[in-house]
């Protein structure tokens, strides 16, 4: 899978002819909703867990020095909490560009806070994409985040904004909160 997934995502036709589509956001899409949406609701998806295992060459790092951002990896027992947005299908156009560094639109079931459910879309970066970095010790991930910058700003802001948004929504995420602790501890030393 090449670095730029825009063209691939344009071929996704599962929701053609729908007036609106639910989009599940679990990373920057939780705290940076700079796109038009009709409605938003906290939601979760089952069987996936959030990990800082995806490289960012276009937003929070560069080709030479990629940052780290989140993707979802399979975990049958996990529930990933995030924010769902009901959007017009035309909004996928700018979103495909924003999420072009390895993320693919995938159909998912999501559950809202009141227990009701909907089918929608999540942007997933799989292991076979060119920007995949994979697992590493948390101290190493935090160090990489601490030093990375890209066109959208410092990588640390991505992590801290995500942690703050999850805290505000009262969602626990041990991986994110532990990286936040590591990062802040590192920054306190230097």
Residue ranges binding ligand SIN (CB under 6 A): 25-29, 69-70, 99, 123
Residue 108 vs 182, nearer CB to ligand SIN: 108
Catalytic residue among 19, 39, 99, 168: 99
Q: How far is the CB of 123 from ligand SIN (least distance, A)?
A: 5
Residue whose CB is nearest to ligand SIN in the complex, by number: 27
Q: How far is the CB of 98 from ligand SIN (least distance, A)?
A: 7
Q: How far is the CB of 73 from ligand SIN (least distance, A)?
A: 13
CA distance 41 to 164: 17
Q: What is the dihedral of CA 159, 162, 166, 169, to 10 degrees?
A: 150
Residue 27 vs 150, nearer CB to ligand SIN: 27
CA distance 136 to 116: 36
Residue 36 vs 185, nearer CB to ligand SIN: 36
Q: What is the dihedral of CA 32, 95, 27, 54, to 10 degrees?
A: -130
Residue 70 vs 142, nearer CB to ligand SIN: 70
Question: How big is the CA angle at 116 (ends 18 and 37), to the nearest 5 degrees?
Answer: 45
Among residues 23, 28, 34, 66, which one has the least CA distance to residue 50? 28
Task: Give yes or no: 99 in active site.
Answer: yes
Q: How far is the CB of 179 from ligand SIN (least distance, A)?
A: 14
What residues have CB less than 8 Å from 11, skipping those under 6 apart? Answer: none
Active site residues: 99
């Amino acid at each position: 899978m090449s670095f730029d997934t825009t063209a691939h995502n344009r071929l996704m036709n599962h929701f053609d002819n729908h007036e609106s589509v639910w989009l599940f956001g679990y990373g920057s899409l939780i705290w940076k909703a700079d796109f038009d949406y009709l409605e938003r609701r906290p939601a979760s998806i089952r069987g996936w867990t959030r990990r800082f295992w995806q490289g960012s060459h276009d937003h929070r790092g560069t080709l030479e020095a990629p940052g780290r951002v989140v993707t979802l990896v399979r975990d049958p027992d996990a529930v990933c909490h995030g924010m769902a947005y009901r959007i017009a299908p035309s909004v996928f156009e700018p979103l495909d560009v924003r999420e072009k560094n390895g993320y693919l639109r995938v159909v998912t079931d999501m559950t809202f806070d009141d227990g009701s459910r909907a089918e929608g879309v999540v942007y997933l970066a799989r292991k076979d994409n060119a920007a995949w970095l994979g697992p590493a010790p948390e101290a190493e991930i935090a160090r990489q985040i601490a030093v990375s910058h890209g066109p959208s700003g410092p990588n640390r802001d991505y992590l801290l904004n995500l942690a703050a948004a999850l805290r505000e929504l009262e969602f626990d995420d041990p991986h994110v909160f532990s990286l936040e602790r590591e990062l802040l501890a590192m920054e306190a030393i230097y």
